[in-house]
């Protein structure tokens, strides 16, 4: 038999989880999923929906061409334990909006192709937590979300004013957002919303309107994150946008604080939360840990600093004796987190004697100095701004600077290349208080007093 080209098929199985139903049934990598209960599997959402019953019939094509019909009895919603070569099974859908604030439109040329892909795929929202606009979907696709009860789903709202949303997203379908969200509420779906705030566009009274509209959909809409627009230096021929300064950021925080007070009385929740950037720009103290109500939008930069600080405190409280650690490190971070990380450094010094930790904010020359978050710091800026002649034991960086599950920065420089250039070891650390403290606890030079 002629060897088939497995990547010509969508539903090629790549991995089988240990001790899973699939392993017990004899399903193997490179097998192909043909159908479930007689239904063709269009994409990963079809798979998740069709596999949820407690009894399913699974049709598998083996590498030798044999077709197996497997009858499976299992718990409701229990997965088979298979992963596909293409996580979506189908091709990811790109965004057709031309948002006035789109970050991808502000990227420099000649970066890797994947950075220029604009996703607006409801399946990625369900599977990975990506935010979608709901403007690039047909009525059939909206109905499919409701039928399959895809939840939670993360939606980039920006404004509920139909005319303004059409203008901001440059998509004639963008004005339907509130009616779609109301349908989701009627279907009992859970939704998290995001507002990218643009000065003098969707802030002020427009933000008030949007928050009032979204709060009417509670508890289906569970939370709203307000994040400032990100502006790079590559905005030639794009919509003219100002950045938030201290005064305008304070106005946003005052508005959100007032609305939180109202929502707390009306809904029993603060409902809307400002991203850490607003607090850093104004110099205001972060809200209390409990004020984030479980951190529903941590991945959106809402409460990331407070959560990290809390984790550091918890880990340091576990250390009963001071630790002697004669080590010198540089911690490279974005300019946004400089003051915050110096505060964390003081906490670390209370438990570690002899440790020198220099916080070095890396100005973002690659994207522009108005970009201040650590996750957009590039390797070349680290090389330019760190002095390779310092007497240190290594350089600590947050893993958020690197591509997921890799050692590669946004400009495609690797950790190893930077180590070779600077002649120091680099220690990428998860953005986790536990991992950060354990970096010093596990240092070979540490001794308990």
Residue at 98 is within a domain: no
- Alpha-helix runs per DSSP H in 289-337: 304-317
Does one domain contain both 166 and 269?
yes
Answer whether residue 314 shows pLDDT above 90.
yes
Dump pLDDT digits (tens) for 372-415: 999 999 999 999 998 766 788 999 999 999 988 789 999 999 99
- DSSP class of residue 161? -
- DSSP class of residue 12? B
Q: Phi/psi at 128 (nearest 5 deg)?
A: -120, -5
Does one domain contain both 372 and 426?
yes
Dump pLDDT digits (tens) for 120-158: 554 554 455 578 888 877 788 888 888 888 788 889 999
Distance CA 122, CA 140 (A): 13
pLDDT-derived band at 7, boundaries 50, 70, 90: very low
Report the pLDDT value the prediction gives residue 129, as an integer from 0 to 100. 55
List all residues 6 or more positions away from 352 whose beta carbon is below 8 Å from its beta carbon: 322, 323, 324, 325, 440, 446
> At which of 301, 321, 341 does a domain end?
301
Tokens standing for residue 326: 């004669």
Choose the weakest-confidence range: 188-197, 311-320, 340-349, 440-449: 440-449
Does one domain contain both 137 and 284?
yes
Are 355 and 394 contacting, i.e. CB atoms less than 8 angstroms apart? no
CATH number at residue 411: 3.40.50
From the list 197, 206, 211, 156, the residue with the least C-alpha distance to 180 is 156
Residue at 226 is within a domain: yes
Report the pLDDT value the prediction gives residue 115, as an integer from 0 to 100. 58
Q: pTM for the whole thing?
A: 0.81
pLDDT-derived band at 93, boundaries 50, 70, 90: low
From the list 136, 128, 292, the residue with the least C-alpha distance to 225 is 292
Residue at 91 is within a domain: no
From the list 419, 233, 237, 211, the residue with the least C-alpha distance to 332 is 419
CATH number at residue 67: 2.30.42.10
CATH number at residue 155: 3.80.30
Report the pLDDT value the prediction gives residue 119, as an integer from 0 to 100. 57
Residue in the block written with tokens 């004639």 = 172
Are 210 and 196 contacting, i.e. CB atoms less than 8 angstroms apart? no
Answer whether residue 343 shows pLDDT above 60.
yes
Are 243 and 368 contacting, i.e. CB atoms less than 8 angstroms apart? no
Residue at 1 is within a domain: no
What sign does the dihedral 105-107-113-117 (CA atoms) show?
A: negative
Are 194 and 120 contacting, i.e. CB atoms less than 8 angstroms apart? no
Residue at 99 is within a domain: no
Does one domain contain both 60 and 143?
no
Does one domain contain both 341 and 396?
yes
Report the pLDDT value the prediction gives residue 391, as an integer from 0 to 100. 84
Does one domain contain both 146 and 262?
yes
Answer whether residue 435 shows pLDDT above 50.
yes
Report the pLDDT value the prediction gives residue 153, as an integer from 0 to 100. 87
> At which of 301, 327, 361 does a domain end?
301
Q: Indicate the SS3 state at residue 295.
A: coil
Does one domain contain both 192 and 250?
yes
Dump pLDDT digits (tens) for 414-432: 999 999 999 999 999 999 9
Does one domain contain both 124 and 76?
no
Report the pLDDT value the prediction gives residue 128, as an integer from 0 to 100. 52
Are 399 and 430 contacting, i.e. CB atoms less than 8 angstroms apart? yes
Residue at 150 is within a domain: yes
Does one domain contain both 259 and 123?
yes
How many residues make up the chain in this entry? 449
Average pLDDT over residues 75-95: 71
From the list 178, 110, 189, the residue with the least C-alpha distance to 144 is 189
pLDDT-derived band at 12, boundaries 50, 70, 90: confident
Sheet with 39-40, strands from edge to edge, namely: 39-40, 32-36, 55-61, 67-73
Choose the weakest-confidence range: 3-12, 216-225, 311-320, 327-336: 3-12
Look at phi and psi of residue 326 and say left if phi exceeds 0, alpha if psi is from -120 to 50, else beta.
beta
Bridge partners (DSSP) listed for residue 128 = none
Q: Indicate the SS3 state at residue 409.
A: strand
Residue at 94 is within a domain: no
Q: Phi/psi at 225 (nearest 5 deg)?
A: -105, 135
Answer whether residue 229 shows pLDDT above 90.
yes
Average pLDDT over residues 83-93: 62
Q: Which domain holds residue 364?
A: 309-448
Higher pLDDT, 83 or 306: 306
Are 409 and 384 contacting, i.e. CB atoms less than 8 angstroms apart? no
Does one domain contain both 33 and 62?
yes
Does one domain contain both 79 and 136?
no
Distance CA 77, CA 74 (A): 8
> At which of 252, 278, 301 does a domain end?
301
Does one domain contain both 237 and 141?
yes
Regarding beta strands 426-429 and 272-274, do their DSSP bridges make them parallel or antiparallel, or are they unpaired?
Answer: unpaired
Structural domain count of the chain? 3
Report the pLDDT value the prediction gives residue 358, as an integer from 0 to 100. 94
State the average pLDDT for the chain: 88
pLDDT-derived band at 8, boundaries 50, 70, 90: very low
Residue at 96 is within a domain: no
Dump pLDDT digits (tens) for 166-176: 999 999 999 99
Report the pLDDT value the prediction gives residue 6, as an integer from 0 to 100. 40
Average pLDDT over residues 289-315: 95
The half-sphere exposure of 220 on its side-chain side, counting CA atoms within 13 A, is 19
């Amino acid at each position: 038999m002629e060897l088939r080209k497995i990547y010509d098929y969508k539903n090629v199985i790549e991995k089988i989880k240990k001790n899973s139903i699939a392993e017990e049934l004899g399903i193997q990598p490179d097998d192909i999923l043909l159908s479930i209960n007689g239904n063709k599997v269009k994409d990963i959402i079809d798979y998740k929906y069709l596999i949820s019953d407690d009894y399913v019939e699974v049709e598998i094509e083996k590498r030798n061409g044999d077709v197996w019909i497997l009858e499976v009895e299992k718990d409701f919603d229990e997965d088979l334990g298979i992963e596909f070569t293409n996580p979506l099974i189908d091709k990811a859908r790109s965004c057709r909006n031309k948002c006035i604030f789109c970050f991808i439109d502000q990227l420099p040329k000649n970066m890797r192709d994947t950075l220029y892909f604009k996703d607006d795929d409801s399946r990625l929202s369900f599977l990975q937590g990506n935010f979608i606009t709901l403007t690039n979907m047909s009525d059939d696709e909206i109905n499919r979300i409701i039928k399959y009860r895809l939840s939670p789903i993360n939606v980039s709202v920006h404004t509920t004013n139909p005319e303004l949303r059409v203008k901001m997203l440059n998509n004639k379908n963008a004005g339907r957002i509130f009616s779609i969200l109301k349908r989701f509420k009627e279907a009992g779906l859970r939704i998290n919303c995001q507002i990218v705030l643009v000065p003098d566009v969707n802030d002020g009274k427009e933000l008030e309107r949007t928050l009032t509209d979204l709060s009417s959909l509670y508890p289906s809409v569970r939370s709203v994150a307000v994040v400032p627009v990100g502006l790079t230096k590559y905005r030639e021929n794009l919509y003219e946008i100002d950045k938030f300064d201290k005064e305008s950021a304070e106005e946003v925080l005052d508005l959100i604080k007032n609305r939180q007070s109202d929502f707390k009385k009306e809904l029993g929740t603060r409902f809307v939360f400002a991203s850490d950037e607003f607090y850093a720009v104004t110099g205001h103290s972060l809200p209390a840990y409990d004020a984030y109500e479980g951190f529903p939008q941590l991945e959106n930069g809402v409460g990331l600093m407070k959560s990290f600080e809390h984790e550091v405190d918890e880990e340091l409280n576990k250390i009963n004796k001071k630790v002697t650690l004669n080590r010198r490190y540089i911690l490279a971070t974005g300019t946004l987190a400089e003051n915050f990380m110096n505060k964390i450094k003081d906490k670390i010094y209370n438990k570690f004697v002899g440790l020198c930790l220099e916080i070095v904010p890396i100005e973002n020359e690659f994207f522009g100095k108005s970009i201040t978050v650590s996750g957009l710091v590039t390797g070349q800026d680290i090389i330019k701004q760190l002095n390779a002649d310092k007497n240190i034991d290594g350089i600590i960086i947050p893993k958020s600077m690197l591509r997921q599950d890799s050692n590669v920065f946004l400009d495609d420089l690797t950790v190893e290349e930077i180590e070779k250039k600077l002649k120091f070891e680099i220690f990428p650390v998860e953005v986790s208080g536990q991992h950060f403290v354990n970096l010093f606890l596990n240092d070979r030079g540490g001794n308990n007093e």
